[in-house]
Amino acid sequence: MALAEQVSATDIARDAVDRPVLARQGHDTAQTITLIVENMNCGGCMRKIEQTLASTPGVQSARTNLSAKRVTVVANPDATDADQLIGRLRSVGYRAAELVDSIGTDAARPDRDLLKCVAVAGFAAANIMLLSVSVWAGVASDMDPAVQRLFHWLSALIALPAISYAGQPFFRSAAEALKSWRLNMDVPISLAVILAAAMSLYQTIQGGEQVYFDASVTLLFFLLIGRYLDQSMRRQAQGAAQNLLALKGAWVTTVDELGATNRIPVRALAAGMRVLVAAGERVPVDGRVVSGTSDIDESLLTGETLPRTAAPGEQVFAGTICLTHPLEIETTAADDKTVIAEIARLMEAAEQARGRYVRLADRAASIYAPAVHILGLLTFVGWSLSGAGWETAITAAIAVLIITCPCALALAVPAVQVAATSRLFADGTIMKVADGLERLAEIDTVVFDKTGTLTMGEPRLGNGGEVDDEALSSAASLAVSSRHPYARAIVAAAAERGLKILPVQDVHEEPGAGLRSGHGASQTRLGSPAWCGLLEESNEDASLWLTRPGMPAVGFAMEDKLRSDAGNVVHRLEDAGLAIELLSGDRTRPVAHIAQSAGIATWHARQRPSDKIARIDALTGRGHRVLMVGDGLNDAPALAAGHASLSPASAADISQMAADTIFQGDRLSPVVELLAVARRARRMAFENFAIAGAYNAICIPLAMAGLVTPLIAAIAMSASSILVTANALRLRTMAVRLSP
């Protein structure tokens, strides 16, 4: 099947992306605007941004991507533009900018800055705790008040600069929220830290005994750890579409009407211009072959390992590789109009649609933050009305703010994620996105690709036992001069048998046909039946043939080996109540064979990228949660569209970027382990929420009653965080089993 039939940019866009092309209010077209929102940090931010933009006149849809901190807006160009959208977001406290190709950002800088804050807070907390222990021990042994006051001042000198620096992530977020008359989880955190530090400084100046520098700094330290773990995991999901677009190439060699060549940027290309592509180079544009014939490696687009022969008049596409001979191509689409660019847009849109999944901690935060402030205010007012002094009232309020700070809640999910991802990593499985485990736990349907997923993706000689050493050695001597996958398979088979491979000097390769050496009647040929003159002797079992003077023709049957445990994995998944399907772009016969060998009853062959997404959408529409397992670029949009996604380490780079998870090795069993760990992780996350809830139910009333000092509140808060973390760490070693 031609690539034009397998990969259609129009079909991809129509079948996979819910992108309106007709504007409302009587206008003819709509534009898509992508904005970067720097301070989008949680599910509450996502909801607020989407609601704000959706209420803007002319906006048809707005979809946020938390991992990439982007929002894609489809709007009427006559009613609004990027500046107006940025202004709308600024009015509710969000810093936004339009995404353009020239923007260069240091993606790792926020992680580095946050890690510095963690280090400063940890160093300060350790030193202040040493001073606090000295004071506690000294009070019991009648420490001199002057020495005690000196220790308090030393604590202040350490704590105040540390809080000023390490608390910036929370302080900035809280300030922006308050400016826009809204609340988030950083507001009570900032209030507790600032009030505790201010009260401690006041007590130090007055010579009081109760200071809470250790509580405020320790609080910051634990919360920064949770924030860093969460943010560093989310940041790994960025950049898939950008890496895909990098495959287009930056420069091309053009040919003018006089035959002169010139090197120009790919952005300067226009339809109708001719470009030269050397053997081994990646095709930079979509176009029609004008001269030359070459094998084209389309595995990046189709997922299939067998190259296609491109002759004059046939279409080739950006991102594919010209294997055997140079080509002259007339450009039909370049830059952002190519199929590969369309797939990149598809992937980004699918990721943003998936971004609506809001984690449990973020949902709880929508009601948690205002509740914390109300409880703190009620505590202060209650103690003030009871006749207690303002110091007592504010101390009790600080204790409430500290003890109700959502540290255990904030760590409930990240702690489980860290434990689960550490376990999976030890088994060769890499989790790339923060909420991937939650979505994997909801899976009820698994869709596999064939080549490179259920199979190893490497053609091998299947009938080696029927081929004698002399024939295999002769074939390898020709094949060693070719880059064709079948030729490499023959060379590998000869090497495994220990045969000598002596390269032939006068080998000629005919793209799409085969190899030959010698002249006239003394020719030796390796290739297709037609190339070898064996039309009547050919059969479907042999992939290529060897003919030699005076010797009978020898057929070589190639096969793509099924992963050794594929059948067992399919059986275990079905026993766990999961539905299994196979979607492949390959021909019907090999797909049917692999499906039967793996025990998969439902399978579909000759599937284009749009067909795969259409099938996933159909399953999703019936209420199923689909795990897509694939390895080719043609699978990348489907990977992004699935509820969750998984790729082998041998997959194309872009498929690895699009997938939530990557597994290594030749076995398929990591799929079962991944789903079992994900389901167990979800149960442990709920257990952690229960621990955090019980902690608040017991400690909040005690704090409001004045029975808990800020220091004890910080210890209790830290204890709840440690308990949540300890519970999560059990996942690293406990036995898990995938069950219905």
More confident residue, 626 or 11: 626
Residue from 655, 647, 587 nearest 5 by CA:
587
- 3-state SS, 547-589, equals EECCEEEEEECEEEEECCCHHHHHHHHHHCCCEEEEECCCCHH
* CATH superfamily label, 429-456+562-664: HAD superfamily/HAD-like (3.40.50.1000)
- Number of other CB atoms surrounding residue 256 within 10 Å: 10
Overall average pLDDT of the 529-543 stretch: 69
Tell me the CATH class for 3-98: alpha beta
Residues acting as catalytic residues: 449
User: d(Cα 64, Cα 37) in Å, to the nearest integer?
Assistant: 9
- Residue 303: pLDDT band with limits 50, 70, 90: low
User: d(Cα 169, Cα 496) in Å, to the nearest integer?
Assistant: 59
Q: For CATH 3.40.1110.10, list the domain ranges present in the chain.
A: 463-556
> Does position 558 have pLDDT exceeding 50, yes or no?
yes
Q: For CATH 3.40.50.1000, list the domain ranges present in the chain.
A: 429-456+562-664
- Number of other CB atoms surrounding residue 81 within 10 Å: 16
Query: Is 462 within 8 Å of 487 (Cβ atoms)?
Result: no
> Does position 97 have pLDDT exceeding 60, yes or no?
yes
Overall average pLDDT of the 473-502 stretch: 87
pTM of the model: 0.55
Question: What torsion do the CA atoms of 171, 177, 179, 180 make, to the nearest 10 degrees?
Answer: 170
- Number of other CB atoms surrounding residue 224 within 10 Å: 23
Structure tokens belonging to residue 68? 């990439």
Continuous segment of H or E residues that includes residue 683 = helix 670-704
For residue range 682-694, what is the model confidence (pLDDT) as tens digits?
A: 888 888 888 888 8
> Does position 512 have pLDDT exceeding 90, yes or no?
no
Buried b (16+ CB within 10 A) or exposed e, 63-76: bbbbbbbbbbbbbb
- Residue 230: pLDDT band with limits 50, 70, 90: low
Name, in order, each residue with C-beta under 8 angstroms of 518's C-beta and a sequence gap of 6 or more. 506, 524, 549
More confident residue, 237 or 297: 297
- Residue 543: pLDDT band with limits 50, 70, 90: confident
Place of tokens 């992004």: 640
Name, in order, each residue with C-beta under 8 angstroms of 334's C-beta and a sequence gap of 6 or more. 266, 267, 269, 270, 271, 284, 285, 286, 318
Q: What is the DSSP string of 264-285?
A: EEGGG--TT-EEEE-TTPBP-S
Q: For CATH 3.30.70.100, list the domain ranges present in the chain.
A: 3-98
In this prediction, what percent of the chain has a pLDDT beyond 70?
A: 78
261 forms beta bridges with 255
> Does position 737 have pLDDT exceeding 60, yes or no?
yes
Q: For CATH 2.70.150.10, list the domain ranges present in the chain.
A: 248-338
- Residue 713: pLDDT band with limits 50, 70, 90: confident
For residue range 434-467, what is the model confidence (pLDDT) as tens digits?
A: 677 788 889 999 999 887 788 887 788 878 888 8
Structure tokens belonging to residue 626? 């689909």
Structure tokens belonging to residue 486? 């079948």
Overall average pLDDT of the 226-250 stretch: 53
pLDDT of residue 323: 84
Which of 41-55, 214-228, 565-579, 598-612 is modeled with the greatest confidence?
Answer: 565-579
Overall average pLDDT of the 525-545 stretch: 74
> Does position 280 have pLDDT exceeding 70, yes or no?
yes
Q: For CATH 1.20.120, list the domain ranges present in the chain.
A: 107-235
> Does position 557 have pLDDT exceeding 70, yes or no?
yes
Does the structural domain 107-235 have CATH classification 1.20.120? Answer: yes
User: d(Cα 308, Cα 1) in Å, to the nearest integer?
Assistant: 9
> Does position 573 have pLDDT exceeding 90, yes or no?
yes
Name, in order, each residue with C-beta under 8 angstroms of 660's C-beta and a sequence gap of 6 or more. 237, 431, 432, 433, 436, 439, 440, 644, 645, 646
pLDDT of residue 651: 57
What 8-state DSSP symbol labels residue 693? H
Query: Is 658 within 8 Å of 354 (Cβ atoms)?
Result: no
> Does position 389 have pLDDT exceeding 60, yes or no?
yes
Whole-Å CA distances, 688 to 419, 644, 714: 13, 23, 19
> Does position 239 have pLDDT exceeding 80, yes or no?
no
For residue range 597-651, what is the model confidence (pLDDT) as tens digits?
A: 999 999 998 887 788 888 999 999 999 999 999 876 567 778 888 888 888 876 5
3 state DSSP class of 255: strand
Query: Is 585 within 8 Å of 608 (Cβ atoms)?
Result: yes
Which stretches of 141-270 are DSSP H helices?
145-166, 168-179, 186-206, 213-235, 240-245
3 state DSSP class of 251: strand
Rg of the chain's alpha carbons, rounded to an integer? 32
* CATH superfamily label, 463-556: Calcium-transporting ATPase, cytoplasmic domain N (3.40.1110.10)
User: d(Cα 83, Cα 436) in Å, to the nearest integer?
Assistant: 34
Overall average pLDDT of the 351-362 stretch: 44
pLDDT of residue 571: 93
217 phi, psi to nearest 5 deg: -70, -40
> Does position 429 have pLDDT exceeding 70, yes or no?
yes
**Would you state the CATH architecture of domain 248-338?**
Distorted Sandwich (2.70)
User: d(Cα 189, Cα 285) in Å, to the nearest integer?
Assistant: 53
Average pLDDT, the chain: 77
